Structure 1
């Protein structure tokens, strides 16, 4: 008996792969503005980048969790937090610009509920917390300054806050400080202020130089990427104990001891079993296995350019894009879902001073 035409049509639809949906993304730079491009999720090719918004050195970007607003920090001579409205076609329109309350703004993030933004200042060693209006406009900041130093006489003679992140519940703000070898812990008050938590910091091994960090799935621990030492430290967040349980190399075991590490970014794969880190010195993206308790480096791949700074993964976990700052390009990689291994697609676009990538929601 022949099947009904409707069943044949349904079978045909199920057997036909869904058309790849292009993924638009923004690129922060140390140059003249924020650029925009689109990723082909079949091939890994990217469209020619276009300047979406002019701004001096918008080095790091973040997108509001519920509003069509992109935030950038930079500004050259004076650190600014700039908000852009994201248009229907992906264009950016500047809607607000405020001083950050510090020098050398290098990282911005937004709380899970979208009510607060936080900025880290490398030069002044401070963090700033901004109330956000209903339309995402930032208000005047509350600033907390770090103090102290550590053992590296070239890079750690003063505090250098390098990144900030809210815990998943939004009640705590953490700040990695390269200059003091600490991950500071702040309680976010109901009035939008910052108070040192107890303990007030997680101490890293001397000379580590913590730069960026990421929470494990569920938020029970934090993985801290250390720029100077080229290591990853694991520490509990729930509860915060102030101590590190393990530190392991982020770079290959055969990298000479005197070689530059310059580790930069660390992120989880959406599946939660793989972790990635950029090591600018050796010019690689490293990947790790995470089993819920232990982290193990599995390998690394050349970044497709010079000085891989920030990178980003697609929401489906199939592709990873790398911003190579010195070579001024973005390269794409396909991800093996089982092993986490990265395979270069051979696709690249030229973006001057590429430093940060954010996919458009």
Structure 2
């Protein structure tokens, strides 16, 4: 009995969001992932249009349907017996919704729209139904007239302080908002705006577990910008590039995550680089680049740790494959496990 329970505990669900295309991908793919071997077995397929980002809280999963044809939306599912059962779907107020989070208590969701400058706020009821509660519409631009002609909201992450940190690639700003329950509805309340380097294009962020630092990934410059909490505000501490020495190609930095112990930070870069970089986090929160690893494919849009952090799974969008790296917890370094998951345009991986 102990043996069978032990084996069962090694198998955990993995959800992969894709860009859908007829005869290629239907939507969300649920796998059983073996935390000991790194093997993955397909359990089910869920039809939903271009679920480019996923968020999960207990048995509720949300998907941002990244469309631009008027059907852009956020979809809610209930996880039951290895399958996703549809609950409801609502439109977003912007276009190309590319990111969704669920707050730590599972009470609300925030959806970022890459087009239209819109940020959407949905309440989640006890049954997993989503209801639109509030939205914000941003304006502005920055120095790159081609890519920063208007706001491009790329992500929203909940910080350890409970606030929502919104990265706007189009204006080089990170907006900090509180979410409050007022008269039975959740509302946005902007409390701070953080400037990032001009022309850098903030995309995603990661918070240090000690709550003193956060790391903002710049898509256009492939820099990681370190911010330190000083009093009640955040101050820029360091800017470090993620590329190998001598790299001169085009950048498209995509994702950034920090290990649970706060010792190592990882960041992916697409276009000509196709790498995932490892940084050692110093005691003062600053970064030291220690490895630039090929992702062994093209277009590493999203990556994630396995829950035990022994593996890093990289979704290579343009080579239609998830590459699974072994992770050395002591040194932070990544090495090829030899394991792969074949998937059409994999762009989000969550456990």
TM-score (norm 1): 0.88
**Contact persistence 1:284–1:303 (CA under 8 A):** yes
The match for 2:306 is 314
CA shift, 1:22, in A, is 2.1
More strand as a share of residues? 2
Choose from 31, 34, 40 the match for 1:37. Answer: 31
CA contact (8 A) 2:110 2:121 kept: yes
Q: Is the 8 A contact 2:78 2:128 kept in 1?
A: no
Q: Post-superposition shift, 1:39?
A: 2.3
Residue 269 (str. 1) matches residue 259 (str. 2)? yes
Deviation, 1:261, is: 1.3
Give, in angstroms, the shift of residue 165 of structure 1: 1.0
Q: Which runs of 5+ in 1 are unaligned?
A: 1-12
Deviations 1:127-173 (A, max 9, x none): 11111112221111311111111111221111000000112242x11
Question: In structure 2, which of residues 319, 337, 344 is the aligned counterpart of residue 345 of structure 1?
Answer: 337
Cα deviation for residue 323 of structure 1 reads: 0.6
Moved more, 91-100 or 127-136: 127-136
1:183 to 160, 174, 185: 174
Q: 1:128 to 1:240 in 2, by over 3 A?
A: farther
Q: Aligned equivalents of 1:265 and 1:301: distance in 2?
A: 14
In structure 1, what is the equivalent of residue 76 of structure 2? 83
1:140-289 equivalence runs, <5 A: 140-170=132-162, 172-191=163-182, 192-197=186-191, 200-237=192-229, 239-241=231-233, 243-256=235-248, 259-281=249-271, 282-289=273-280
> SS of 1:245's equivalent?
strand
Residue 268 of structure 1 deviates from its aligned partner by 1.0
Q: CA deviation at 1:229?
A: 0.4
Residues 33, 51 of structure 1: 8 Å contact kept: no
Q: Relative to structure 2, which stretch is displaced further, 71-80 or 118-127? A: 71-80
**2:217 and 2:223 in contact (8 A); partners too:** yes
Out of 124, 131, 151, the residue aligned to residue 132 of structure 1 is 124
- Structure 2: which 5+ runs fail to align? 21-25
Note the C-alpha offset of 1:333.
0.6
CA distance in structure 2 between the partners assigned to 1:188 and 1:238 by the alignment: 22
Secondary structure at the aligned position of 2:40 is classed as: coil
Per the TM alignment, residue 249 of structure 1 is displaced from its structure 2 partner at its CA by: 0.6
8 Å contact kept, 2:223–2:240: yes
Q: CA deviation at 1:30?
A: 0.8
Which string of whole-angstrom CA distances, capped at 9 and with x for unpartnered residues, describes residues 203-253 of structure 1? 011011000001111322210000000000111346453541211112223
Residue equivalent to 2:292:
300
Q: Give the 3-state SS of the residue equivalent to 1:304 in structure 2.
A: coil
1:337 to partner: Cα distance: 1.2
Q: What's the CA shift for 1:303?
A: 0.9
Does the aligned pair in 2 maintain the 1:110–1:116 contact within 8 Å? Answer: yes
Alpha-carbon displacement from aligned partner over 1:69-121 (angstroms, at most 9, x marks no partner) = 11000153221110111012x10111110112211100000111111110101
CA distance, structure 1, for counterparts of residue 43 and residue 18 of structure 2: 13
Check the 8 A contact 2:66/2:96 in 1, yes or no: no
User: CA 1:152–1:50 in structure 2 vs 1: closer, same or farther (change >3 Å)?
Assistant: farther
Shift of 1:186: 1.1
Give the structure with higher Rg (CA): 1
CA contact (8 A) 2:253 2:268 kept: yes
Instruction: Tell me the distance in 1 between the aligned counterparts of 2:221 and 2:39.
Output: 34
CA RMSD of aligned residues (A): 1.7
